Structure 1
Amino acid sequence: MSGALAPIKLVYVNARAALFDLYGDHLRIRAGKASVAALVRLLAPLDIAAPAVRTAISRMVRQDWLAPVRLPQGPGYALTPKSVRRLDETAVRVYRTGSAPWPGRWHVLVFQPVRERATRERLRADLSFLGYAPSPELLPPAWPGDEARAYFEQEAARLLPAAAAFVDHNLDKGVH
């Protein structure tokens, strides 16, 4: 046995996820912007091809995560206020020490079923990120959680015009 470790080969890295990691972990604290050429160069070691980087950037612009900017190095993209908020929330979750005490309240979102698959999956991912979990016993879908008021006010209400949110201070006391 030689003692040397075999190199690990990454099978697949999602370009969009890699861009979020790059902006969140490295570029956010360095003005939050980079040229397209730099983004392609930085993601090349992960075997993410230039067309995949450009496609992911285009989608992130349409979703309001990135905004086009002119940089001395050429065309580039900067974080939007929406993405800065999300990356700040993510950093708190990833790097927090200890856990916050439960405030004794449940926030519940109730909404009509979402028929469009892409909207439904985006909504599911966003709500899960915020700590919500679906409650299959409730119809229409209800997502009990504890941090989503800002998300609901900014994003869910736009996606779900027939949605409602409420806070119940009695659920923890066994009062229904």
Structure 2
Amino acid sequence: MSSATECVSALIDDFQQRRPIRAGSLIITVYGDAIVPRGGTVWLGSLSKLVEPIGINERLVRTSVYRLTRETWLQGEKVGRRSYYSLSGPGRRRFEQAFKRVYHGVQAPWSGQWTLVLLSQLDSSRRQKVRDELEWLGFGHFAPGLLAHPMLGRSEAMAALQELGAADEAIVLQTEALEPLASKPLRLQVRESWNLDELAEHYQRFLTLFRPLWKALNEENHLDEEACFIARTLLIHEYRRVQLRDPQLPDELLPTAWEGRNAHQLCRNIYRMIYRRAESWLDRHLETAEGPLPAPGPSFYRRFGGLD
């Protein structure tokens, strides 16, 4: 059996072998997971040192940070000869939307209602754009021009439509709950509309990637602080990538043996086991213009239902 250190090396290799290397996406993971809970601003030099062992050199960090700034994810500030970067206003909003799924606890019970969005009154080119955006939010395609979601409410659908300038042309409806909440034809429709089989494959890949580390940590939990930080970063990075595809459907509509539940449990268990040593590494290696980064705020310790 591989040691925990060998498992972390294998995770680094897996990340480096993908082309192109998504350095910008990994940097957003580092900000969301490690930097935002500690005030949100960091010196570019200490960010480079953090991600270098994962295979992202200083030049690639600078290029990626420049691109993220141009895309309004990050904003920079010069203090003397040093540059410090934090999430911008739009970047923070996008971060909150993307990361709230990652650390969530138990999902709220489903009311049995559905939010329906009918796009038949939009012209075909705009309809496709609105449909793509609603699907990114987690809506499923039920029929031509008809999208649905069991958990997102009418207000969330209207906010998205207003942002797209389509609120006056789309029809948004809310259904009543009927018994049974999850009939067999409805469950088959859900499986088809959200392509749950493909999503299950992505979760299965995550499980295959990280189960050896969990096994090794249970055998000998001796990972050093830097390896814990790398493992935690890649864990959240990979889990976040799958979560962005997950429409967050209620349990009643999901298969009984759903890989997403197992993936959340595995991610939570590994995170809880290694986060303290990763935080110790961050204490010593992250700098703001005022010195070391502050300690994480209270919300950090509420991740995954509680870290303490």
Q: Name the TM tier (shorter chain).
A: 0.5 to 0.7
Shift of 1:89: 4.3
Aligned residue for 2:35, secondary structure, equals helix
Q: Sort the Cα spacing of 1:4 and 1:107 in 2 relative to 1 into closer, same or farther, 3 A.
A: closer
Identity in percent: 22
Higher relative CO (Cα under 8 Å, sequence separation at least 6) belongs to 2
Structure holding more helix per residue: 2
> What are the ranges of 5 or more consecutive residues in structure 2 without an aligned counterpart?
180-308
Counterpart of 1:123?
133
- Segment drifting more, 84-93 vs 24-33: 84-93
Given candidates 110, 132, 135, the residue that maps to 2:141 is: 135
Match of 1:61 in 2: 69
Residues in 2 aligned to 1:55 and 1:144: alpha-carbon distance in whole angstroms: 38
Q: Is the 8 A contact 2:115 2:175 kept in 1?
A: no
AA aligned opposite 1:55: T
Counterpart-to-counterpart distance in 1, 2:74 and 2:178 = 44
* From 162, 173, 176, the counterpart of 2:178: 173
Root-mean-square deviation over aligned CA pairs: 3.5
Residue number in structure 2 paired with 1:32: 40
- The verdict on how the C-alpha distance between 1:105 and 1:67 changes in structure 2, with shifts beyond 3 A counting, is farther
1:133·1:143 contact (CA, 8 Å) conserved in 2? yes
Match of 1:100 in 2: 108
Deviation, structure 1 residue 110: 4.7
Q: CA deviation at 1:100?
A: 0.8
- Residue equivalent to 2:90: 82
The match for 2:165 is 161
Q: Is the 8 A contact 2:41 2:85 kept in 1?
A: yes
* Matches of 1:72 and 1:78, distance apart in 2: 17
TM-score by length of 2: 0.42
Distance 1:135 1:34, change over 3 A: same
Q: For residues 56 and 109 of structure 1, do their structure 2 counterparts lie closer, same or farther at Cα, with a shift above 3 Å needed?
A: farther
CA 1:4/1:103 → structure 2, altered by over 3 Å: closer, same or farther?
closer
Q: CA deviation at 1:26?
A: 0.5
Which letter does structure 2 place at the counterpart of 1:69?
E
> What's the secondary structure of 1:135's corresponding residue?
strand
- Give the structure with the higher percent strand: 1
Residue 80 of structure 1: how far off its partner (Å): 2.3
TM-score (norm 1): 0.67
Specify the structure having the higher radius of gyration (Cα): 2
Q: Which amino acid aligns with 1:14?
A: R
Structure 1 residues 103 and 4, CA gap change in structure 2 (3 angstroms)? closer
> Does the 8 Å CA contact 1:35/1:73 hold for their aligned counterparts?
no
Q: Distance in 2 between matches of 1:114 and 1:79?
A: 33
